[in-house]
């Protein structure tokens, strides 16, 4: 039998104890451990992550931009139906649309034609109350002065509105916060002015006459009042 001295046995026992302690502290690999930290790999992964995030952000933002563009196109569709894109008229109408999203050129045109008939007939009848609601202060003063002058001579206008042959928007612009739209209107009207004795001194009560006017309507887009008023008139030859 080989003889082990006391020192050899002591070192063997000490080695076994140290091994067991290290095993308890360090543990054993199970195959599920995280890989060791590599700063260079982490940096590359971080860069790729940022790039991926940017790419994802771009992909998400594109539909929003497209949706906004489509919304703008839809908003201006009514304007483009009235005036060709790129023209001064189109730009003017778009500017009004930007200032007043509720503005619709076709609806405006329909309303302006109704206002035209009302104003023409109110002037012939001397209806100041109706005119006051449809005219700017300056135009109203001019119309009232003409009515007063006519009444001072005891003259009367006999009118019958036949209809509007054509009405088109010829210009549009924003003047500060005020929208201005100018129309060219071609209408048919039977009109005659009679003196105090009933004699026709102007016009013809039996003839339909063609009348051409250029009228400008305006509205303060900052106001809650949705009504447009006539701010300028011009007879076209």
Label residue 67 left, alpha or beta by phi (over 0 means left) and psi (-120 to 50 means alpha): alpha
Closest CA to 75 of 99, 57, 55, 56: 99
Token digits of residue 173: 């612009």
User: pTM for the full model?
Assistant: 0.69
Q: Do 189 and 161 contact (CB within 8 A), yes or no?
A: yes
Closest CA to 168 of 42, 82, 46, 41: 82
Say what the pLDDT of residue 236 is.
Answer: 81
Say what the pLDDT of residue 36 is.
Answer: 47
b (16+ CB within 10 A) / e for 161-200: beebeebebebbbbeeebbbbbbbbebebbbbbbeeeeee
The size of the chain, in residues, is 237
Say what the pLDDT of residue 23 is.
Answer: 53
Name the residue ranges covered by the structural domains of the chain: 39-75, 85-235
Q: What is the CATH number of domain 85-235?
A: 3.10.450.240
Quick: pLDDT tens for 106-125. Answer: 999 999 999 999 999 999 99
Q: Do 13 and 20 contact (CB within 8 A), yes or no?
A: no
Say what the pLDDT of residue 198 is.
Answer: 94
- Per-residue 3-state assignment (H helix, E strand, C coil) for the chain: CCCCCHHHHHHHHHHHHHHHHHHHHHCCCCCCCCCCCCHHHHHHHHHHHHHHHHHHHHHHHHHHHHHHHHHHHHHCHHHHHHCCCCCHHHHHHHHHHHHCCCCCHHHHHHHHHHHHHHHHHHHHHCCHHHHHHHECHHHHHHHHHHHHHHHHCCCEEEEEEEEEEEEEEEEEEEECCEEEEEEEEEEEEEEEEECCCCCEEEECCCCCEEEEEEEEEEEECCCCCCCCEEEEEEECC
Residues 30 and 15: their CA atoms lie apart, in Å, by 25
Say what the pLDDT of residue 75 is.
Answer: 80
The gap from C-alpha 163 to its chain's centroid, in whole angstroms, comes to: 32
Residues 208 and 195: their CA atoms lie apart, in Å, by 21
Block residue for tokens 């206002």:
115
Quick: pLDDT tens for 205-236. Answer: 999 999 999 999 999 999 999 999 999 999 88
Say what the pLDDT of residue 61 is.
Answer: 45
Residues of the chain with pLDDT under 70: 1-72
């Amino acid at each position: 039998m080989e003889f082990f001295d006391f020192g050899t046995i002591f070192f063997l026992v000490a080695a076994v104890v140290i091994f067991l302690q290290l095993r308890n502290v360090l543990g054993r690999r199970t195959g599920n451990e995280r890989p060791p930290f590599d700063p260079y790999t982490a940096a590359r992964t971080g860069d790729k992550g940022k790039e991926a995030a940017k790419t994802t952000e771009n992909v998400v933002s594109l539909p929003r931009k497209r949706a906004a563009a489509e919304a703008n196109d839809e908003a201006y569709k009514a304007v483009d139906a009235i005036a060709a894109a790129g023209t001064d008229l189109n730009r003017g109408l778009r500017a009004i649309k930007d200032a007043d999203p509720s503005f619709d050129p076709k609806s405006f045109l329909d309303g302006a034609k109704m206002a035209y008939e009302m104003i023409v007939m109110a002037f012939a009848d001397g209806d100041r109350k109706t005119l006051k609601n449809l005219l700017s202060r300056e135009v109203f003063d001019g119309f009232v002065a003409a009515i007063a002058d006519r009444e001072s001579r005891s003259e009367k206008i006999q009118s019958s509105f036949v209809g509007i042959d054509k009405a088109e928007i010829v210009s549009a612009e924003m003047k500060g916060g005020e929208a201005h739209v100018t129309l060219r209107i071609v209408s048919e009207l039977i009109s005659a002015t009679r003196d105090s004795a009933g004699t026709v001194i102007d016009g013809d009560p039996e003839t339909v006459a063609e009348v051409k006017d250029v009228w400008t309507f305006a509205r303060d887009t900052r106001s809650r009042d949705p009504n447009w008023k006539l701010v300028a008139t011009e007879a076209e030859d």
